[in-house]
């Protein structure tokens, strides 16, 4: 028995259905591109809040006596810029510049004046966890150096005024999430716990402040541009 011959109309319908199926099911690579930001060079910009923890430092008077002193700083702000490279779907490395500013809140519980400004440069390693639909939680950490500058920190009238800058080792732990908007852009929000080594500042009347450790909680949001 001879097989039925497909009519022109049937061939046309089959061609239309095949074309529609091809459009509805893009190549595997295009589908995978929806799950993560692309491999390659990127730049990130962020802004957020900075909350230093209270720190107990040692203030040595001009006569040689030393007393523990608690310094507290209020909620400030954080500005961040980073240049990074994504090596594969999960691993990123980046160089980051960060500026944190907080006004002095109290010294041993007394209302304080002045401000702390921290300029830092870090190298970070991060791991992206791709969940699909462009959503990627990530964890990581970094090490670098920080320049901690105090500007006229004091507890009011007739108290020591501390001023100056010190450069110390810095480390940070990072956890966050990014959301891809387009192939070239993604929003991010993350939390960072940042620690800076023991700084030393001079007082206005011969005092020396030693062993001030700047530890802070930071929440940032921003955008990454992939090239």
User: Which residues fall within 8 angstroms of residue 161, CB to CB, at 6 or more apart?
Assistant: 114, 152, 153, 154, 203, 204
Our measurement of the distance from residue 38's CA atom to the centroid of its chain's CA atoms, rounded to an integer in Å, reads 20
pLDDT digits (tens, 9 = 90+) for 156-197: 766 788 999 999 999 999 999 999 999 899 999 999 999 999
Count of structural domains, the chain: 1
Q: Give domain status of residue 112, yes or no.
A: yes
Residue 30 clears pLDDT 90, i.e. is over it: no
54 vs 132, more confident: 54
Phi/psi of residue 20, nearest 5 degrees? -65, -40
Lowest-pLDDT choice from 106-120, 127-141, 146-160:
146-160
DSSP string, 32-65: HTTSSPPSEEEEEEEEEEEEEPPEEEEEE-TTS-
Dig out the tokens for 156 from the structure. 């009011």
Q: Give domain status of residue 2, yes or no.
A: no
Question: What is the rounded distance in angstroms from the CA atom of residue 76 to the CA atom of residue 68?
Answer: 25
- Maximum average pLDDT range among 6-10, 11-15, 123-127: 123-127
81 vs 69, more confident: 81
pLDDT given at position 28: 38
DSSP H or E stretch at residue 93: strand 91-107
Q: Give domain status of residue 32, yes or no.
A: yes
pLDDT digits (tens, 9 = 90+) for 70-109: 999 999 999 999 999 999 999 999 999 999 999 999 999 9
Domain that holds residue 47: 8-226
Question: What is the rounded distance in angstroms from the CA atom of residue 75 to the CA atom of residue 52?
Answer: 7
126 vs 25, more confident: 126
- Model's pTM, two decimal places? 0.82
Residue 17 clears pLDDT 60, i.e. is over it: no
Our measurement of the distance from residue 194's CA atom to the centroid of its chain's CA atoms, rounded to an integer in Å, reads 10
Mean residue pLDDT across the chain: 86
Q: Give domain status of residue 3, yes or no.
A: no
Q: Give domain status of residue 113, yes or no.
A: yes
85 vs 23, more confident: 85
Q: Residue 119 maps to which CATH number?
A: 2.40.160.20
pLDDT given at position 171: 98
Q: Give domain status of residue 63, yes or no.
A: yes
- Residue 65: C-alpha distances to residues 60, 202, 206, 209 (Å): 6, 15, 12, 12
Q: Give domain status of residue 41, yes or no.
A: yes
């Amino acid at each position: 028995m001879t097989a039925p011959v497909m009519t022109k109309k049937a061939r046309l319908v089959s061609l239309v259905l095949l074309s529609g199926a091809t459009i509805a099911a893009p190549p595997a690579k295009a589908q995978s591109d929806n799950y993560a930001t692309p491999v390659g060079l990127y730049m990130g910009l962020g802004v957020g809040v900075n909350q230093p923890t209270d720190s107990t430092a040692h203030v040595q008077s001009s006569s040689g006596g030393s007393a523990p002193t608690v310094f507290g700083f209020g909620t400030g702000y954080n500005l961040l810029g980073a240049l990074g490279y994504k090596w594969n779907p999960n691993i990123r490395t980046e160089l980051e510049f960060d500026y944190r500013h907080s006004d002095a809140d109290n010294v041993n519980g007394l209302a304080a004046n002045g401000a702390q400004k921290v300029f830092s440069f870090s190298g970070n390693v991060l791991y992206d966890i791709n969940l699909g639909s462009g959503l990627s939680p990530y964890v990581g950490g970094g090490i670098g150096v920080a320049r901690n500058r105090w500007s006229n920190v004091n507890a009011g009238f007739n108290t020591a005024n501390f001023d100056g800058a010190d450069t110390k080792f810095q480390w940070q732990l990072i956890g966050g999430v990014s959301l891809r908007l387009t192939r070239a852009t993604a929003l991010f929000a993350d939390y960072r716990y940042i620690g800076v080594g023991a700084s030393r500042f001079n007082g206005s009347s011969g005092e020396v402040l030693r062993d001030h450790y700047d530890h802070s909680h930071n929440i940032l949001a921003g955008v990454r541009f992939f090239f």
